[in-house]
Amino acid sequence: MTRPRILVTENLGAAGLQYLQQRADVDAHHLLPVQELPGLMNQYDAIIIRSAHRLTRELLKDHPRLKVVARAGAGVDNIDLDAATELGIAVINAPGANAIAAAEHTFGLMLAVMRNIVAGDAHVRGGGWDRAAYLGQELHGKRLGIIGLGRVGRQVARIAHGFRLEVAAYDPFLSPDIFEAHDVRQVTQLEDLLSAVDIITIHTPKTGPHLDERLLERLPKGAIVINAARGGLIDEGSLSRLLQAGHISGAGFDVFTSEPPKADSPLLQAPHVVTTPHLGGSTHEAMVEVGVMTARGVIDALNNQTPPNLVNVPIPDLPERNLKTLDRAVRLLANLFSRLNEHFDTPLVLSLNHSFNPSVRPWLRQAALAWLLQERVDERVNTVNALLIAQRQGVRLLVQGDQSDGDDPRLGLRLEGHPETEIQVTVGASGILLKKIAGIPVDIVWPEQALLTRHRDAPGVVGRVGSLVGQYDVNIGQLHLGRRDPHEEALMILTLDADPPEELLESLRRLPDIDSVYAFSHL
């Protein structure tokens, strides 16, 4: 198989680059001149950037070879997500790769502010030794408020428990079980969180809440404010005024509305402020992890797998192993269904049993549509653009609950009103099991190479098929049978050691009582 070609426009780090080079042909630059990128876009399957380049709609369009673009970092502001989605280009980033670094830096700022570390250092260097003037506060027992309980926020909570802080958080996008899992008290109104903490730290993207003067005034007198997330999330002028007035006793800032901050920045003039030059995610360990996470996501996407760091698809918050298993299950389900059903004359129904969290539904819907449509349209279709292509093709997919018994996650796919079309799989400890094919109960692990017949349940059919397969020197590993009722439609699935030749398939289709024959390889 031809190895993909990948362009790396900026320094990715040795570990990430090595991961790519083991699996692809890579052209790597320390810093590719911006003007050279447009002329190279046609030559690569994937392009990885950092901050120096912008991938606009104009750059992304008209490059049929390009399948994946990635930013080696958390934000993707310099990639046109709408254009990439319309073009079926997967967008990869490295969210959370620097979560530990950012969380640790948050506590570095916290401790520096509360224990007067920066001012104390300057005092000693100036020849002073006035311990009383730099009396600090302990973290122990304080009330910490976290705005945004994402990857960084959760790491902040983890560290906070070690300091014996009381931890509460506000994040309207998370279910209560997430807060419970991280031993964090959920607060559903931002104003309520601000009024009940000693320290507030924010860990959201730029679209998160903006702390203006009205909100900052809700903090108790003497509170500490930390921002190691994004510049502009906290009104720096308002915070400066509250620091000058003594309402807020200190602040730690790693990010600013304008970077670097101007000399007349109000925060630089305010008392009791510790600043750093956007160092939150900048550790040797984090830089390695960013490169490796980006590289792994790009290779997974090029291999038609679903990486957890795929930006323009609603990836559920699942352990990576569970995500990959579920990805394989929906791929098998949709591929089998598409082969066995020539026409989608009615809406399709994807059924999920009670074991699935509702958060997986949007992704499963897109993934199922992508695999259903891949062999039916001439244009590129994948999980990224499946909804757009399905809409153009007039294909509707409904997602419904399934009340069937059993604790293992169960997925089914059928034409609405036609239970005889249903294919069903379960995902359990023993792997992915097919439980129904064309509405007929089965119980098998799907093989690498398989031959499937739909036939009338009649004496001699199994023997004739097995004999004919043997004549073509194709070895049968296992045989599975299923039927609707005696003497009605039946299925036979043969596990083969090699792909069957087309002549064998044609000969099988001519046998008595055989309705249809399908060959499958590496679904």
* Opening angle at CA 227, ends 293 and 317, nearest 5: 40
Is 392 one of the catalytic residues?
A: no
What are the angstrom distances between the C-alpha of 95 and each of 104, 274, 300, 324, 479?
A: 16, 26, 16, 18, 45
User: How far is 341 from 334, CA to CA, in rounded Å?
Assistant: 10
Check 63, 161, 185, 278 and give the catalytic one: 278
Check 50, 182, 230, 296 and give the catalytic one: 230
How many CB atoms are closer than 10 A to CB 245?
Answer: 9
**b/e sequence 32-49, b meaning 16+ C-beta within 10 Å:** beeeebeeebeebbbbbb
By 3-state DSSP, what share of the chain in percent is helix, strand and coil, each rounded to 5? 35, 25, 40
Following DSSP, what letter does each residue of 73-141 receive, concatenated? SS--TTB-HHHHHHTT-EEE--TTTTHHHHHHHHHHHHHHHHTTHHHHHHHHHTT---GGGG-----TT
Residues 6+ positions from 17 with CB-CB distance below 8 Å? 8, 26, 28, 291, 295
Q: What is the DSSP pairing of strand 431-437 with strand 476-483?
A: unpaired
Is 3 one of the catalytic residues?
A: no
Contact 289, 312 (CB under 8 A): no
Residue type, 19: Y
Helices (H), 355-408: 361-373, 386-393
CA proximity to 47, closest of 27, 19, 70, 16: 70
CA proximity to 494, closest of 515, 466, 471, 470: 466
Is 455 one of the catalytic residues?
A: no
Q: Catalytic residue numbers?
A: 230, 259, 278
